[in-house]
Structure 1
Amino acid sequence: MNVTITTGVSFSSASSFSVRSTDQPSMPGMDGWSVLRTLKDDAELKDTPVVMVTFINDNGLASALGAADYVTKPVRWEQLRQVMERLREAEGHVLIVDDNAETRSQLRTVLERDGWSITEAVNGRDALDKLATQRPKAVLLDLEMPVMDGFAFLHVFREQPGCAEIPVIVITARDLTRQDRKNLQGVNRVLTKGEMQLRKLSKELLQATKHGPTEDL
């Protein structure tokens, strides 16, 4: 059976997938980059992770167009397996607590490409209000915020029913003091803004949600 990419997009619209891969170079009807744009413009498909399989070694382009990852030809099947496994496991709801809109947007973009669903909160008080409607699988927490900072939020959060074991990853630009580290006992990881590699963040979340070891602060 010969299937064009246009047919593939139509089939995708009528089917349920957790991850899609698309071939890129030239293909009859529509090339892979066009498929990616079409999928990301579709309201029902835009949140589905897409992996590009391509001769072109250009992660910047793939990322800019919304691809979750890319694999170059000739395909190394172990690499593709690892990518697909990472995306398959990235299922769950993440609460991002940060007063910086640009940071929240960057985190949301990266994590949604990997299959996570996201809720944003602008400070600790806002985050506690969001908890009333949905319990997250993990929390990404900034420390320095107005109204209620990350330290105060963490203290109250851990006392909420069902929240004691939810993984918390702190993402901060703050130079932590010894007292800060003491106050953060029980968080799973502390990542430094500026040094954090966004593409590794999903891996950190997967480890944390699989009850990985709490970081020794």
Structure 2
Amino acid sequence: MTSTHERFLTSMVPEVSGHGLRLLPWDADSAADAEDWLRGLTDPEFRRWNTPLRPVENLESARASLRSKAERAADGADVTFRVTDAVSGATLGQIGVNMIDPIVSAARVGYWVLPEARGRGVARRSLHLATRWALTNLGLHRLELGHAVGHDVSCRVAERCGFPYEGTLRGAMWEDERRETFRDVHLHARLATDPEPAA
């Protein structure tokens, strides 16, 4: 029987299509990919709700960040997709299946959307695709999604994609760009046994 980890390693970062989107690997050697990654991680709305583990402030650090993501994919720890428009190929955002634990068959999912792509259901559609891929292709049992308390848009996306609210994690993430202070997180989760919501 093939383990979750072995299935992940054989698939690496595949292409996943549907709902008008294509989820593709990021390419650290692509100038366009590095620029889009930098724009996403330096966007004020992203920074309002997230504090990256390693700051990304310029193209050099963006490329280093993407290379780190590729290494974690090769190790079977994370997979990070570039969310693109299926017709134009334009980058719309990113979605990642992170902290993959084959022992307990669980992972965490997170996403962001570039400013020009907001209001078009990109987060919801990409979460549907990535969730189906993780629960089916990776054979995971549980996916968790956490967001800062007060991030109502992310809360609605989670619930519309079949990730019900499970509780509040106290002081579970850094305050926006301040690593010495913490804020609470809403935890949502989806199980492989849960019914799939309408796309």
Higher relative contact order (CA 8 A, sep 6+): 2
Structure with a larger share of its residues in strand = 2
TM-score by length of 1: 0.29
TM-score by length of 2: 0.31
Structure with a larger share of its residues in helix = 1
